[in-house]
Amino acid sequence: MELMLLYWAATGLILVVGFVMLIANAVAGKPLKMALRTLITGVILLVIGAGACAVILSNLGGMH
């Protein structure tokens, strides 16, 4: 359970850092490549985590 909470915290942190980097780099006129990579990584982790949660929750319903 703690590992799942850690995963979601890390995913949220990656998304927030990606948004902050994107805004800061856009304002400063710097390249956005690293910020976009961070955002894409965060979205991929979000999709994988949501899918894993859906699978876990669907398996819990059939146990009774």
Question: pTM of the full predicted structure?
Answer: 0.81
pLDDT, residue 2, reads 83
pLDDT reported for residue 54: 83
Report d(CA 12, CA 63) in Å as an integer: 31
Q: What is the pLDDT of residue 62?
A: 60
Where do the structural domains in the chain lie, given as residue ranges? 2-52
How far, in Å, CA of 43 to CA of 41, rounded? 5
Say what the alpha-carbon torsion angle 37, 43, 49, 54 is, to the nearest 10 degrees.
Answer: -150
Residuewise pLDDT in 10s, the chain (64 residues): 788 889 999 999 999 999 999 999 999 999 999 999 999 999 999 999 998 888 888 887 665 5
φ, ψ of residue 31 in degrees (nearest 5): -65, 145
- pLDDT confidence of residue 37: 96
